[in-house]
Structure 1
Amino acid sequence: MSKADVSVRTGNIKQMNRLGPLLALTVASIALTACNPGMLEDGKHLQPIPAKIKDKIRKIGSTEKAPIYIRIFKEEAVLEAWKERKDGTYALLKTYPICAYSGEIGPKKREGDRQAPEGFYAITRGQMNPQSSYYLSFNLGYPNKFDRSYGRTGKHLMVHGSCSSRGCYAMEDAPIAEIYSLGREAFSGGQRSFKVHAFPFRMTPENMARNRNSEHFAFWQNLKNGYDHFQITHKPPKVEVCNRTYIFDPQGASHFDATGPCPDYTVEPSLLASLKTLRQKENIRFQQAALKLEQKVQEKEVETADAMVESQLELLERKQKISEGKNPDGFLAGLIKGNPAPTAASQAALPVSGIAAQSAPSASIALAEPETEAPSGGFFSKLTSAIPNPFGQKKQPIILPQTDVSETINTLPQPRQ
């Protein structure tokens, strides 16, 4: 064999080696297509990123193949798509409406509870489903390590199209197609998995105060730590699980056991300082919001109680007037209703029970007689002296204790139920 032949043969072998992974991927794609002949026919999973979204990507300083990050807010029913910029931070690309989700705010705990998950999830290429029965979808990966540490069960929890949900987050078809295309291009650009962080609501101090009495509050405190990390850094936090608790951006430890005690770890000093500052400010806002809410509840209780007392007093006053042979609606109102006030003669001739029957209470009173002050020692004086009014004084406002800033930053929080 000549040197030229050897050279050509060697070059062909090198070229085949370089094409090997691509050929394997092509063969796998052909095999998958054979199992799902509709894949190449509808092409919905291959829809390009819309031109408007491409233009927005450029405006925020990102690229089509840059990594993506998704946040879900259940109560507000929105999904946010973020794109990574050149400096490694993420910018909001677009906010999509969630068409439907199952259940209420709060985590999913067991198969069949019809709750949409809350927590921190990672989506790999294998979790993308181009042949979904709900147009397009991707699997959230529930239960994750945190969920499993509590024995939570469930499967096939998706973000999908078709606007129909039984434990999933459902979108209209056009939005899920855009989101799917963003994920597909990010994988093509080298992102191994994109993060989906699902929250019950936007985790402001005011929203936390509004939900402070929920059974899920401790769990939401844990979620808020991850929310705060992103708010400060604009980078999706690294998420670990230990002591059945989410841990964010830990440094100095390599192994985390979801159910075991947490190893010693640290948080980057500047991030830790920013978290402390944020927590101090938000604790004040939380206490102020909680106090306002508590005062509103107390005011509502007092208003309801006052209305009940006034209603009872009005009823007693009518009965008192009827027992004295008077028209409880007043002379003019009685004429309008056809119930003139009784004369002395008719009063003597008509028993009290008959007057009471004529003077049935009415919801609409045109003109009423001015109320006269009850005589001293009379019926109402005896009534008010005998029955104390428990609603006479408002409750003292509840002063909420100062939240310990270090509980969720410097020390390990307790397991979250």
Structure 2
Amino acid sequence: MVRKVALMAALMGSLALAGCNPELIEDGKASQPIPIKLKHQIQKIGSTEKAPLYIRIFKEESVLEAWKQTKDGTYALLKTYPICAYSGEIGPKKKEGDRQAPEGFYDITPGQMNPNSSYYLSFNIGYPNKFDRSYGRTGAHLMVHGSCSSRGCYAMEDEQIAEIYALGREAFDGGQRAFPVHAFPFRMTPENMARVSGKEDFAFWQNLKNGYDHFQITHVPPKVDVCNRTYVFDAQGASSFNATAACPSYTLDPTLMASLEKLRATENVRFNEALTKQQQAKAKADAKANDTMVEAQLEILQRKDRIAEGKNPDGFLAGLLKGTPTTTSQVQNPVQATAPLPAATQVQPTPTAEAAVAPVQNAGAPASNSFFSKLGSAISSPFKPLLKDEQAGITSDEATLTTLPEARQ
């Protein structure tokens, strides 16, 4: 009887302690089973609940893909989840407080799973990894989590993070020591690479694309190493890698190498075609902007001539342009209105029609088809001569996706 009383007292004490520490109470979020519908999908792709998991993130498209290993050892796409929110833009996270979500290759261990997250459920991406640290990049607590709120993380809806968390938990139960999370800025097609060819992170994205291509060919997540401050994938024959030292001698599987060479030969053609189209589109847009500027200048001259002849097309504009009549070879600048009913203001003539013209800002400005709208639709500095192609030194003859970039400073 005394023993029973002691056990009851111990039980009551533990319950009281749990009441003071709500984190000790299992709320069931982290132990939710995989939904029945998702279980059926796992079977449909030839996998099992406890098979290894692989996750790909595409920032620009705002999607997270969950892949499961199948019976033949390759991975099949299980489900694509929309990312509810991420902060920052495309490009890697570089320092604490920049509010950028990481891009790169990360591994998630059981210790990185957080069942007591303030954001419903979460797992730590593992930033900074060896590659990030080789560049002195800083930051911590970068997560994939619920609650749809992000400050450098990838945020999901609670129901979605619960599914992803359950997939990871079951994969760990099946013996997977860590599941890879590969975060990309966008789907790394040749067309997307051409679109960002002038960006400062282009060399970094070329490096990421190597890993992306390995998976596209093999449907197996690549083995990732870091040397010379560069990601290396599926290396064979090297004993060790140092993130900041020169890369050791290594080889790739001949079949994989042949597939990569074939893929890149095809993609380089697509890349250069996309780059050419991009340059042509820019030239066309520049020409259109120039035409808009010329039309606006001619309309200004025509209106001022009509005003000088007493034909006054605009009423309000004529009130601002009293003074010596002008001709097409001597243009005056309209002056911005500073009050609802401004006094007539003498303006200074400018020597040529290419001089900058400040648009009139007033409630009585003409409608959208007038020369004011044409002027505003040109460029930020409407009469500044346009520069020629401003691509960062990349031409269709030189551009390639095949070169592994040197270490970046």
TM range (shorter): 0.7 to 0.9
Q: Is the 8 A contact 1:222 1:416 kept in 2?
A: no
Matched, 1:401 2:397: yes
Q: Does 1:119 align with 2:104?
A: yes
Q: 1:331-390 CA deviation, whole Å, 9 max, x = no partner?
A: xxx9xx9xxxxxxxxxxxxx986xxx9xx9983699xxxxxxxxxxxxxxxxxxxxxx97
Deviation of 1:35 after TM superposition, in Å, equals 11
The reply on whether 1:327 has 2:317 as its aligned counterpart is no
Q: From the superposition, tell whether residues 67 and 364 of structure 1 become closer, same or farther in structure 2 (CA, over 3 Å).
A: closer
TM-score normalised per structure 1: 0.74
199 and 404 in structure 1: CA distance in 2 versus 1, 3 angstrom threshold: closer
The match for 1:297 is 282
Residue of structure 1 in register with 2:319 after alignment: none
The residue that corresponds to 2:265 in the other structure is 280
Q: Is the 8 A contact 2:49 2:170 kept in 1?
A: yes
Tell me how far 1:36 sits from its aligned partner. Answer: 6.7
SS in 2 for 1:41: coil
Q: Confirm or deny: 8 A CA contact 1:321 1:328 kept in the other structure.
A: yes
Which amino acid counterpart does residue 107 of structure 2 have in structure 1?
A
Q: Does 1:255 align with 2:251?
A: no
Question: Residues 358-377 of structure 1 correspond to what in structure 2 (within 5 A)?
Answer: 363=366
CA apart distance, 1:402: 3.7
Distance in structure 2 (CA, Å) of the matches to 1:135 and 1:158: 12
> Which one-letter code corresponds to 1:218 in the other structure?
A
1:93-242 equivalences under 5 Å are 93-242=78-227
- Identity score, percent: 68
* 1:70–1:197 Cα contact (<8 Å) kept: yes
Q: Kindly provide the CA deviation profile for residues 85-143 of structure 1, in whole angstroms up to 9, marking residues without a partner as x.
A: 01110000000111111111110111111111100000011111111111111111111
Deviations 1:192-232 (A, max 9, x none): 10000000011111111111111111000000000000000
Q: What residue in structure 1 maps to residue 332 of structure 2? A: none
Aligned pairs, number: 336
Q: AA paired with 1:216?
A: D
Report the secondary structure of 1:215's partner residue: coil
- Residue 53 (structure 2) pairs with residue 68 (structure 1): yes
Write the letter of the residue equivalent to 1:416: R
Q: CA deviation at 1:320?
A: 2.5
RMSD: 3.1
Alpha-carbon deviation of 1:404? 5.0
- Going from structure 1 to structure 2, the CA distance change for 1:110 and 1:390 (only over 3 Å counts) comes to closer
User: Deviation at 1:327?
Assistant: 3.0
CA distance in 2, matches of 1:107, 1:242: 18
Q: Secondary structure at the match of 1:76?
A: coil
Output the CA distance in 2 between the equivalents of 1:167 and 1:124. Answer: 20
Q: Structure 1 residues 46 and 320, CA, compared in 2 at 3 Å: closer, same or farther?
A: same
Between Structure 1 and Structure 2, the one with more helix by share is 1
Equivalent position SS for 1:250: coil
Matched residue, 2:302: 317
Q: Based on CA coordinates, which of the two structures has the bigger radius of gyration? A: 1
Gaps of 5+ in 1: 1-32, 338-350, 367-388
Unpaired segments ≥5 residues, structure 2? 1-17, 316-322, 326-343, 345-359, 370-383
Identify the residue that residue 380 of structure 1 maps to in structure 2: none
1:76 and 1:321 mapped to 2: Cα distance? 53
8 Å Cα contact 1:75-1:105 kept in structure 2: yes
CA distance in 2, matches of 1:34, 1:224: 51
Is the Cα contact below 8 Å between 2:264 and 2:402 reproduced in 1?
no
Q: Which amino acid aligns with 1:206?
A: E
Distance (Å, rounded) in 2 between the aligned partners of 1:390 and 1:40: 69
Partner AA of 2:366 in structure 1? A
